[in-house]
Structure 1
Amino acid sequence: MLLLADKWNDYEIIDAGEGEKLERWKDIILRRPDPQAIWPCENENKEWKDVHGHYHRSSKGGGQWEFKKKVPDRWTISYKELKFYVKPTGFKHTGLFPEQAANWEWIIEKIKNAGRPVKVLNLFAYTGGATCAASYAGASEVCHVDASKGMVSWAKENAELSNLTNNKIRFIVDDVFKFVQREIRRGNKYDAIIMDPPSYGRGPNGEIWKLEEELPRLIEVTKDVLSDDPLFVLLNSYTTGLSPTAIENMMKLIIQKEKGGEVYSGEIGIPVKKDSLVLPCGIYGRWEK
């Protein structure tokens, strides 16, 4: 199933192709690499050159921004009632993945329609898009966990921007596995789990993470922190070569086998304004009771 993040006003993909995408972030136009935009396009015309910032990849890895117009240190964009700070970072990202709005909509609907308190655990939670969505939807508590202190601070600011300061949100800087294992020992349970694990990363103490090696164990350990009446589990991935079916199979064997319910998977994408194509932006797997 292909889900589209097509309800944005402050963000759009103007054009895409030749390994790049041309985006509008409110009033700022950025040009960034995108490995999925492999189709041909005229990306050297005036529209592609008249940008605020262009991220150039280096043949040695990484890259750097070329700013052609003045860009604020950071600025705010809105998705309905939610607000987020964005800024160009040294790794081409802006601190927000707009395609995840397709999942935010689902999270909000599930929590609002639950008819009961819902305690949410958000793992590899980055700058808190899903945290804000869950809290806005009325979650009784959201626990936000990420190994990066800087990302957790950014997430706190996003929660403040979205007027969620008075809601119950715990912000935790920790290695995900270690945190979940401690929660299991403490007997803490969650009704909903959101996971957006990186392809590769390091924990706060140098722990090495490789998704293709760790994903089954991650699903297994998080299953054990689900409550007796769980609502959903959402798993996102941007790992090249990992298919939605593989995620679905793992969730069926590990979660559905014990908890029942339904499992399904697919892609998420964003429409391209110029030619009505869809830029694929990742995959997801969902389990729901």
Structure 2
Amino acid sequence: MFIAKDWEQYELIDLGGGEKLERWGDVVLRRPDPQIIWPIQPRNRKRWDAADAHYHRSNAGGGHWEFRKQLPERWKIQYGPLHFYIKPTNFKHTGLFPEQAANWSWIMESIQRAGRPIKLLNLFAYTGGATVAAASAGAEVVHVDAAKGMVQWAKENVQLSGLQHRTVRFITDDVFKFVMREQRRGNRYDAIVMDPPSYGRGPGGETWKLEKDLYPFLQTCLSILSDKPLFVLVNAYTTGLSPVVLSNLMKLTLGQRYGGRITTGELGLPVTLSDLVLPAGILGRWEGQ
């Protein structure tokens, strides 16, 4: 398991009752997580009751935030040289997945160790955690996401990290159509990061289902890799998808084409008030020779 254990301004305080208690900078949030199938320990109850905000899930879908005190519209947290804006959204999220810090460190180290210019493509790029990490390490980055608001948030995270002088292109587009256009244009990348959804629907009614579409999408991405690719990173949050399955997919695509090394596993967050670890999706890393 790849555990994001080097945070100072984020903390997973406790788990229980289908929820997680987290500190984001100076703000403590209480959010649902269906994996947490044990109760809150009575000795920790006071910590839970003191949360600054609590997201309540609705039986009809969605939910709402209950704010125990006035919070800023958004605030800042830092991971090493990387800075991000945090904001409680209507869908329980905060604009950042803290377990990805394990990947950000690896991305930065891989780019710095390469000793050559690296052009990186970040697909399904959300608010730009990997974009900020790659730009911080000196890579040229192309950031692609279909949600205009998320792309704007990513731009602000890049600026907040003092990286506005880096070469970063922000593109609001359907990821699959963008990759096909890059293939036709002959554009190539030394590294690709992707965080595909379990399920999605495109603007023209196209449907994406990770179990059905990830293999052909990876095959298509081979055509936009450079002659000497550095790495490909795939994140997945689909329930029930095994790291071994992801390893098999990468062997049948990247491995067959380039050889190299494949590493897969789970992402995790350590819990402060216990020796528990919260699993938070899986990853697959392919590294060139």
Q: TM-score range by the shorter chain?
A: over 0.9
Question: What displacement does 1:42 show?
Answer: 2.3
User: What is the one-letter code of the residue matched to 1:7?
Assistant: D
Q: C-alpha deviations, 1:46-93, integer Å up to 9, x for none?
A: 211111110111111111111111111100001111100010000000
In the TM superposition, what are the counterparts of 1:1-289 in structure 2 within 5 Å?
Answer: 2-42=1-41, 45-139=45-139, 141-289=140-288
Q: C-alpha deviations, 1:202-243, integer Å up to 9, x for none?
A: 335554322222111111111111100000000001111111
| Structure 1 consecutive aligned stretches of length 4 or more whose deviation exceeds 4 Å | none
Q: C-alpha deviations, 1:127-152, integer Å up to 9, x for none?
A: 0000000010111x100000000000
CA distance in 1, matches of 2:284, 2:38: 26
Any conservation in 2 of the 1:174–1:203 contact (CA below 8 Å)?
Answer: no
User: What is the one-letter code of the residue matched to 1:16?
Assistant: L
Question: What displacement does 1:192 show?
Answer: 0.3
CA distance in 1, matches of 2:204, 2:174: 8
CA distance in 2, matches of 1:215, 1:74: 34
Q: C-alpha deviations, 1:27-52, integer Å up to 9, x for none?
A: 10000001222233327822111111
CA distance in 2, matches of 1:245, 1:39: 27
Residues 1:199 and 1:53: Cα distance change in structure 2 (over 3 Å): same
CA distance in 1, matches of 2:206, 2:154: 22
CA distance in 2, matches of 1:172, 1:152: 7
Gaps of 5+ in 2: none
CA distance in 1, matches of 2:156, 2:185: 29
CA distance in 1, matches of 2:204, 2:130: 25
CA distance in 1, matches of 2:206, 2:195: 17
CA distance in 2, matches of 1:72, 1:202: 33
CA distance in 1, matches of 2:240, 2:54: 27
CA distance in 2, matches of 1:285, 1:12: 25
CA distance in 2, matches of 1:37, 1:134: 32
